[in-house]
Structure 1
Amino acid sequence: MSYDLVIYNGRIVTASDILPSSIYIGINNGIIETLTTSKLSGKREIDAEGGYIMPGGVDSHVHIDQDNAPAGDNFESGSRSAVAGGTTTIIPFAIQPKKEYDLLKVVEEYHQRANKHGGSYCDYGFHLIISEPTPEMLEKTFPAVCNKEAITSVKVYTTYPRYKLSDEQLLQIFLTNRKNNVTTMVHAENSDIIDFINNKLMSKKMTDPFFHTVSRPQLAEDEASYRAISLAKVIDVPMLIVHMSCESALDHVKKAQTDLLPIFAETCPQYLFLTGDYLKHDCCHHSSQGDEFQGAKYICSPPLRATQQDLEAVWKNLINGTVTVFSSDHAPSNYDHPLGKKKGLVNGIPHFKDVPNGLPGIETRLPLLFCYGVEKGRITPQKFVELTATNPAKLYGLSETKGTIGVGLDADFTIWYPEGKMERFSLTNDMLHHSIDYTPYEGMEFTNWPRYTILRGNVCFDRDNGGVVGDKVGNYLRRKGSVLAGSRAKLNPIFQ
């Protein structure tokens, strides 16, 4: 029997196992049709040469073509960058604007954005961001859009005037999500602490980029994480706290998990590799001297934490299992653009509060964790797959098609170079495929990179032969409920 694609001579990795290199993978019509030790032939054959064969990455937290980031990536550039970094599935956000209660209209607009430039290089779904819930919307429009579009995750915020919800509103959304089998994602920072410190900083004219790290202390994340977990416990609803950056907040998640609660944590590369020193104008990492505003490139929320010990604490929680998923939180804005990071430079005076939040990272997410996690021996290849593909697929209702390598699943793969095959290099921004004019990981050394990225049997990235070589064949993904949460106890009668 002949196959569309055969992959062989590689170490196949799942979240639990590393299979022997004697196994052949046979792919037809975009689906894994067989795994066998018998030699297979195909129209195209890829010899992995002993490198790791992993499921395509699932990046479950990316911001693409958002109104609050007019100098950021669109679906074309963002998805191009994703496949060049080994990611085959992304889940960006469809955002409810204030005073817009027709959620079907909101999602349809994001479909239009996804198709505006000819589609996406990778598969994608949508999370909803709810900024202004009303009882009628939660009772009628919300279930309708979840059913029609098969959306099973919602993000909410405890900070930012544009998105901040009260505790009562959070409880209302938790209850609605419980009834509709929807997973809740929470950006957890205490808004009042942040506002209080911001006002003090403004009064003292402490407005350089570095003061962004001062304005959002670990205690703000600590308190809001504990509060969000407490509110979720009231409803007994699955919840993920996104982009966690500090040990004290992660300790709350660990305690909840020990108590067998469906509370999950996400972290991102910036909280493993970058410290708050990058926001200082005299930081040695800035590529060009004489521009004292370059620290604005590193403004994100929660902010980069102060010390290497802070980074090590996040590493510890990633290794010990407290962290469930590893996402990029790709939320870029160009630096040298009046609506990008330099929006915070007004008449030559820096104002960190006006700088768009977020960092580019969709392409570097997997290589960073692979080179500095797997190849440094900090995590196993199986743990890498669990964090970057299997758990995101399970958490967000994609595990029947994505996130692992098995017969009947989508033929999505990231194939790495065998040890010593790729020449190590120091990263520069012009090597990347996003539309952003900088990378926060400039100058970092990489000992490996995805050699091939394959989406449903289509080679979309071949690093040695043309780079991004595939067409925009990405599909919108209809999702089911999380399989990580497990069954819940009967809903309290007073909430029914």
Structure 2
Amino acid sequence: MTGFDLTIRGGTVASDTEVFRADVGIVGDRIVAVETGLPPGRRDIDAKNHLVLPGGVDTHCHVEQRSGMGRMGADDWYSASVSAAFGGTTTIVPFAAQHRGMSLKQAAADYAALACQKSVIDYSYHLILSETDPQTLQHDLPELIRSGITSFKVYMTYDQLKIDDYQMLDVLAVAARERALVMVHAENNDVIRWVSQRLLERGYTAPKYHGTSHVQLAETEATNRVIQLSRLFDVPVLIVHVSAREALATIQAAQKIGAQVYGETCPHYLLLTEDDMDLPGTEGAKYCCSPPLRDAAAQEALWDALRQGTLQTLSSDHAPYRYDASGKLPEGDKTTFKQIANGLPGLETRLPLLFSEGVGKNRLSIPEFVALSATNHARLYGLFPRKGLLAPGADADVAIWNPTREVTLTAGALHDQVGYTPYEGMTIKGWPETVVSAGRVIVENGRLNAARGSGRFIPRSTPMPCTTERELTPSTRFFRSLTGSKPVSL
């Protein structure tokens, strides 16, 4: 085939199953050929000695979002999308958050308007559901799912956002009927609240006690509880930011008996530990996230879970709170662990960290890296086959990696607006030097070439877990029928 707008030639291409030599031919915003010996296009990129990989997909990041505590993150859609692009990510899926008393439909519309004006890369978004009133569950949520927002998140902790078990069943019933994927922040709120109160009463206020209050059993119990609730309807659930070994074991056990449970983890759980919260003064606040950082044994268990497929995705959970009164330290040096904004920045560093620590240290193969960084995200969230692979017909989203380039991470060299990185001074090997989004070369030679608002909204199809045909038991059919107008008998 001739007449390419862009060719990427001489590189090593990888999918989630294989690594091979090939050229990539692009016309407009789509890939039209992946084969050897392609003729030059109107523009030609020499990828010799480089890896040519699908652009990353990050399906868990917080962008221009107000937290349940009322804190606005440091990154808007522009800075977040630029940061993602420089890190080799070409599609992001953050959250349109419904806070108490807010219309879900209005929250989604407001968020979509912000993205349209600012994002430089393609995007979708999930919903965050905090209300389960009839308008939300019977009208707004089904309408939004049918419009291409086919996943939503619920919280089992945080008083401002959490839903109880009764509400969870209502939500899972809608997901089963509408074939949407439910993402769950699984921690037992009452355990965390009880421990936190006793710690504060006794003067234990330092950042390190954030980890103490979010004890592992709180994550494990909530993980088990939501899995069991989901089994009433045999509906898929995805447990986000898994950190604890016991929670992993719970997920593994449920998968073995056929429960439809999926999971993700994040770079900070693979590379940082609870010791990072135990720093002088309030410095440990930079490392406070929920669930919290665990220990070295948890790190190894998470790496194993990624290799074995217990966990399917590696997301950033980018939560960009500055180390000042606007984010981490609302009360200055008097801030207690309970007042610290939860979350770490990581959009730009997600893929380089996974490549360096995973592929570079023989923990992951290149196809496993592609799966965890792009392909599995696209499949799980209804973006496949447009995203997550290099094949004819797919969107021309490509990251060209120099696998031997060494980069020392510093906050000043990154493109987010947070002002710090938890990986300051860390040297990593492997970096995406050229990034193509929808056929546009948007990052090259350290420079951005993409206009504000040039990214596209991508409506998503039914998530892969919700398309799987399963034989439902009589009891499951009965309980599903209770959510409609014509119950069946047992």
TM-score range for the pair, normalised by the shorter chain length: over 0.9
1:25-424 equivalence runs, <5 A: 25-68=24-67, 69-100=71-102, 102-115=103-116, 118-148=117-147, 150-282=148-280, 292-305=281-294, 307-335=295-323, 337-345=324-332, 348-419=333-404, 422=405, 424=406
The aligned counterpart of 1:286 is none
Q: Is the 8 A contact 1:240 1:266 kept in 2?
A: yes
Work out whether residues 55 and 388 of structure 2, in 8 Å CA contact, stay in contact via their aligned partners in 1: yes
Once the two structures are superposed, residues 391-448 of structure 1 have per-residue CA deviations (whole angstroms, 9 ceiling, x without a partner) of 11011000030011111000101111144xx2x2321111100011100111111111
Shift of 1:489: 3.6
The CA deviation at 1:474 is: 0.8
CA shift at 1:71, angstroms?
4.3
Contact in 2 for aligned 1:460/1:471 (Cα 8 Å): no
With 255-264 and 389-398 compared, the bigger mean Cα shift is at 255-264
Query: CA contact under 8 A between 1:328 and 1:365: conserved in structure 2?
Result: yes
Q: Which amino acid aligns with 2:296?
A: Q
The residue type equivalent to 1:31 in the other structure is: R
Opposite residue 207 of structure 2, the aligned amino acid is P
Counterpart AA for 1:13: A
Taking structure 1 as reference, are residues 344 and 481 closer, same or farther at Cα in structure 2, changes over 3 Å only?
farther
Aligned to 1:11: 12
Displacement, 1:210?
0.7
Contact kept? 2:321, 2:418, Cα under 8 Å: yes
CA distance, structure 2, for counterparts of residue 360 and residue 10 of structure 1? 31
What is the SS of the residue equivalent to 1:67?
coil
Query: Is the contact made by 1:244 and 1:267 (CA closer than 8 Å) also made in structure 2?
Result: yes
Q: Give the drift of 1:38.
A: 2.8
> How many angstroms apart in 1 are the aligned matches of 2:355 and 2:450?
24
CA distance in 2 between counterparts of 1:64 and 1:262 reads 29
Mapped to 1, the partners of 2:432 and 2:10 lie a distance apart of 16
Relative distance call for 1:162 and 1:477 in structure 2 (3 A) is same
CA distance in 1, matches of 2:201, 2:36: 70
Is 1:429 aligned to 2:411, yes or no? yes
What whole-Å deviation, never above 9, does each CA across 1:230-266 have from its counterpart, x for those lacking one? 0111111011000000111011111122223221011
1:314 positional shift: 1.2
Instruction: Tell me the distance in 2 between the aligned counterparts of 1:104 and 1:203.
Output: 41
C-alpha contact 1:153 1:185 (8 A) present in aligned 2: yes
Conserved 8 A contact 2:25-2:38 = no
In the alignment, is the contact (CA less than 8 A) between 2:411 and 2:420 conserved in 1? Answer: yes
SS at match of 2:169: helix
Q: Displacement of 1:7 after TM fit? A: 0.5
Q: 2:7 is paired with a residue of what secondary structure?
A: strand
Question: What secondary structure sits across from 2:138 in the alignment?
Answer: helix
The residue identity in structure 2 corresponding to 1:161 is D
Task: Give the residue type in structure 2 aligned to 1:320.
Answer: Q
1:457 to 439, 460, 463: 439
CA distance in 2, matches of 1:458, 1:471: 11
Secondary structure of residue in 2 paired with 1:425: strand
User: 2:466 aligned with 1:477, yes or no?
Assistant: no
Question: Could you tell me how far apart the structure 2 residues matched to 1:271 and 1:137 are?
Answer: 34
The answer to whether the Cα contact below 8 Å between 1:5 and 1:43 also exists between their aligned partners in 2 is: yes
Deviation string for 1:171-221 (max 9, x for gaps)?
100000110110000000000100000010110011111110000011000
Q: Is this contact kept in 2: 1:49–1:418, CA < 8 A?
A: no
Counterpart of 2:488 in structure 1 is none
What is the SS of the residue equivalent to 2:41? strand
Match of 2:487 in 1: none
Unaligned runs of 5+ in 1: 283-291
Length-normalised TM-score, structure 2: 0.94
Deviations 1:303-331 (A, max 9, x none): 011x2122111111111111111100001
Question: Does the aligned pair in 1 maintain the 2:269–2:299 contact within 8 Å?
Answer: yes
User: Equivalents in 2 of 1:418, 1:384: separation in Å?
Assistant: 13
Partner SS for 1:342: coil
Amino acid at match of 2:463: S
Two-structure CA RMSD over aligned residues (Å): 1.3
**2:65/2:73 contact within 8 Å kept:** no
What percent identity do the matched residue pairs reach? 40
* Pairwise CA distance, 1:112: 2.2
Q: CA deviation at 1:9?
A: 1.0
Question: In structure 2, do the counterparts of structure 1 residues 257 and 379 end up closer, same or farther at CA, with 3 Å as the change threshold?
Answer: same
Letter in 1 for 2:359: V
Q: Any stretches of 5+ residues in structure 2 without a counterpart? A: 485-490
1:275-321 superposed Cα distances (whole Å, 9 cap, x missing partner)? 11111124xxxxxxxxx21111111000011x212211111111111
> Within 2, Cα distance between the matches of 1:301 and 1:38?
49
Residue in 2 that maps onto 1:287 = none
The answer (yes or no) to whether the contact 1:344–1:353 under 8 Å persists in 2 is no
Q: Output the CA distance in 2 between the equivalents of 1:495 and 1:185.
A: 20
In structure 2, relative to structure 1, the CA distance for the partners of 1:344 and 1:231 (3 Å cut) is farther
Amino acid at match of 1:85: G
Residue type of the partner of 1:341? K
Partner Cα separation in structure 2 for residue 344 and residue 477 of structure 1:
40
My pick for the range that moved more, 45-54 or 224-233, is: 45-54
> How far apart, CA to CA, are the structure 1 residues paired with 2:378 and 2:119?
19
Letter in 1 for 2:443: F
CA contact (8 A) 1:299 1:359 kept: yes
Question: Which shifted more, 104-113 or 177-186?
Answer: 104-113
Superposed CA deviations along residues 136-190 of structure 1, whole A, max 9, x for unmatched, are: 4211221122223x11001001000111111010010000011011000000000
Summarize the alignment of residues 434-445 of structure 1 with structure 2, pairs less than 5 Å apart. 434-445=416-427
Give the equivalent residue in structure 2 for 1:468.
Answer: 448
